[in-house]
Amino acid sequence: MRFKRILLKLSGESLQGEQGYGIDPKRLNEYAQQVKEIHDMGVQVGIVIGGGNIFRGLQGAGKGFDRVKGDQMGMLATAINSLGLSSALGAAGCPNRVFTAIRMEPIGEFYTKWKAIEAMERGEVVIMSCGTGSPYFTTDTGSSLRGIEIEADVMLKGTRVDGVYTADPEKDPTATKYNSITYDEVLEKKLRVMDLSAICMCQDNNLPIYVFNMDIVGNLKKVMEGEDIGTLVHN
Ligand code: UDP
């Protein structure tokens, strides 16, 4: 196996599927199936999921919301998505547990690194919700933090593009994809892999990131089997 323990970052925005808002049950179930597939292979899986399909603090602030309250709304949105994913995983027969970075029992257990690792070692998929638990961060930073804490071998960043490109492939048709790139190059070329704080955290703590298209069913398994379908960002 390529990696023994992974941190999987799922974007909230992708969860909306074709709907443009909220949670598309089809996309949710596809994600759950893909996670179950690699869990069945014996991989320890920690998941951080975004909330952009429901609410983003920064966008809220642009509309007059208080930034901290807006970010808290965004963190609650990640808890909603986490419960949705937990439910879909359960329905697929995949044991799992939701942790929250903000106390809200009985919705989820209050997160600690130790409880999360224990659960993964027991064979449960662990979903770590509410990002970092603090405003002014994103779930990208939340994934870096949790990935480092749970001592993951890699952060798999599931997106709707199949890797890191020289330019935005949705805007520039001449953009080409990197198979592998260093953090320094990402920073130097200002490539939008994740936000700056998240990238720097991974770089400082030597957590490689693998960017790939999670919206194509079967891709997560391919990554685990070592197929070169995305981009590796490393030191
Ligand atoms: N958020 C936050 N702190 C965190 C993680 C998330 O305040 O540690 C809030 C922030 O407002 C963010 C929202 O939650 O916009 C949803 O997360 P994100 O935008 O990362 O979701 P994604 O883009 O992955 O769907």
pLDDT score for 183: 97
pLDDT tens-digit map of 192-227: 899 999 999 999 999 999 999 999 999 999 999 999
Cβ contact 163:230 at 8 Å = yes
Rounded distance from Cα 90 to ligand 1 centre (Å): 25
Mean pLDDT of 86-109: 98
Cα-to-centroid distance, 130 and ligand 1 (Å): 8
Q: Ligand 1: list residues with CB < 6 Å.
A: 11-13, 50-52, 56-58, 70-71, 74-75, 77-78, 131-132, 134-135, 137-142
Phi (first) and psi of residue 233, to 5 degrees:
-105, 125
The C-alpha atoms of residue 99 and residue 24 are separated, in whole angstroms, by 22
What average pLDDT does the structure give for the chain? 96
User: Which CATH number fits the domain that encloses residue 208?
Assistant: 3.40.1160.10
pLDDT at 1: 67
The answer to whether the CB of 213 falls within 8 A of the CB of 219 is yes
What tens digit of pLDDT does each residue of 110-142 get? 999 999 999 999 999 999 999 999 999 999 999
Helix, strand or coil, per DSSP, at residue 184: helix
Q: Which two tokens stand for residue 46?
A: 């920690």
- Structural domain that includes position 181: 5-234
Contact 128, 46 (CB under 8 A): yes
Hunting for tokens 């994934």 — which residue is that? Answer: 143
φ, ψ of residue 221 in degrees (nearest 5): -65, -40
Three-state SS at 36: helix
**What does the pLDDT look like over 33-79, one tens digit per residue?**
999 999 999 999 999 999 999 999 988 888 999 999 999 999 999 99
Ligand 1 pocket check: which of 8, 9, 59, 139 to mutate, most ligand atoms within 8 Å of Cβ? Answer: 139
pLDDT at site 170: 82
Domain count along the chain: 1
Over residues 148-152, mean pLDDT? 98
Task: Tell me, in angstroms, the distance from the centre of ligand 1 to residue 71's CA.
Answer: 7
Instruction: Give 25-35 pLDDT, tens digit per residue.
Output: 999 999 999 99
Count CA atoms within 13 Å of residue 208 on its CB side: 16
User: How far does residue 135's CA lie from ligand 1's centre (Å)?
Assistant: 8
- Give dist(CA 119, CA 227) in Å, integer: 28
* Distance from the Cα of residue 118 to its chain's centroid: 20
> In 3-state terms, what secondary structure has residue 149?
helix
